[in-house]
Amino acid sequence: MKHPVPLDNLELLSRALDWSREGRRVALATVISTWGSAPRPVGSMLVADGDCRILGSVSGGCVEGAVVQEALGVMDTQQPRSLEYGVSNEQAWEVGLACGGSIRIYVEPVDETKLRLFEALLQLKQEQRAAVLITRLEDGSKRLLDPQAEPQDPLAAAAEAALRADRSGEHETDGQRYFLQVYNPPLRLVLVGAVHIAQAMVPMAKLAGYDVTVVDPRSAFVTEERFPEVQRLALWPKQALQTLAPDARTAVVTLSHDPKIDDPALIAALSSDAFYVGALGSRRTHAGRLQRLAEQGLTAEQLERIHAPVGLAIGARTPAEIAVSVLAQITAVLRQEKPA
C-alpha cells in the first residue's frame, strides 16, 4: 500500500492549472515570512478553489481555515492580500511547536497571466533548469527570471543568491517589495550498490525530494522488482558517473562494500562538484580505502570530502536505520550553514 506524499510547489501549480482548466475559480496562498521554528518554511503554498477544496499547506493546520476564507474573498475581488497571523502558544502546541509566533501569508487570485507562468515553470522542470518566480507584492504582478540569462536585471543578483542558497524570501529595491520564489532543479542522489540499505534509502530520499539513481554493474541486483519506480543503471560506476555528471545539487553514496565498484565511483564523485560524498564501511575499511585512493592520485583535500563511516553516529544497525542516518547526514551537509 502506497502512502500519500505531500505535493511539492510545482505539483501544486500543476493542480492549479488543472482546476482552472476545469472552470474553477482558484487562489494561491504563499508563506512569505514566518517565525524561527515554523511548521512550514517560507515559500510553502496552498491552492484553494471556490468550493473550499484545498491542496498544500501554509501553517501545518493552525491558520488554514482562515486563509481559505481570505482566499474566497480574493477570488471575488481579484485583488491580492497580505495577511499576518499571530499564533498563540496553544495553537503552536497543536502543530508541534514549543511556543507561538507570527506568520505572513500572501494570497492572490490565479488569472490567465499567472497560468502561463505556471506552464513555463513546469516546462523548466522538464528541462532541469532553474528560475526564480518574482512577485511584486504591491499588486501581485509576476515574472520569471533566470539570473544567468538576464544578468542586467535589477533583481538578478538577489535571484542568483536565492538560487544558490535554495531559499525563497522577500527583497526590497527602489522602494518596491518583492517575493522571490526559488525553483531549482530537483536534488539528486546517486546510490552505488544495489544492496539492502539502498532499498531502504530510495523511498526515504524520494520523500525528501531527491531524484534517485541506483547504480550497480550486477544486473541481477539492480532490477525493477528490487528498485521499482526509480532510475536504475546496470553500468560500472565510472561510466555511470560520467553519464550522470554530478553537480552541486548531487549527493553520491557508495554502498556495495566492494572496492572494484566503490573506488571508481568515489574517484569520479570526488572529481565532481557533488555536495556530498559518502562511503559505507568501518573505520578500518575506510583507512584501507584512503590508501588505495591516494595511490590512484587523489589529493588529501579530495579524500577529506568523504563522509566515512557514512551517516550520523546514531547507533544504527538495520538497513532502514542506516538509511535514516545517511539521509540525515546528507541533509545536515546540504542545509547547515558553513562557517565563514
pTM of the model: 0.82
Do 81 and 63 contact (CB within 8 A), yes or no? no
pLDDT digits (tens, 9 = 90+) for 204-218: 999 999 999 999 999
Choice between 88 and 30, residue whose per-residue pLDDT is larger: 30
Q: Using the 8-state DSSP alphabet, how is residue 87 labeled?
A: E
Do 255 and 198 contact (CB within 8 A), yes or no? yes
What CATH code is assigned to 187-335? Answer: 3.40.50.720
Distance, CA of 68 to CA of 83 (rounded, Å): 12
Query: What strands lie across the sheet with 306-307, from one edge to the other?
Result: 231-233, 210-215, 187-192, 250-254, 276-279, 306-307
pLDDT digits (tens, 9 = 90+) for 234-286: 999 999 999 999 999 999 999 999 999 999 999 999 999 999 999 999 999 99
DSSP of 178-232:
EEEEEEPPPEEEEEES-SHHHHHHHHHHHHTTEEEEEE-S-TTTS-TTTSTTSEE
**Could you state, in order of their start, the residue ranges of all structural domains in the chain?**
9-110, 128-183, 187-335
How do strand 101-109 and strand 131-136 relate by DSSP bridges? unpaired
Residue 313 identity: A
Choice between 172 and 95, residue whose per-residue pLDDT is larger: 172
Query: Is residue 340 very low, low, confident or very high in pLDDT (cuts 50, 70, 90)?
Result: very low
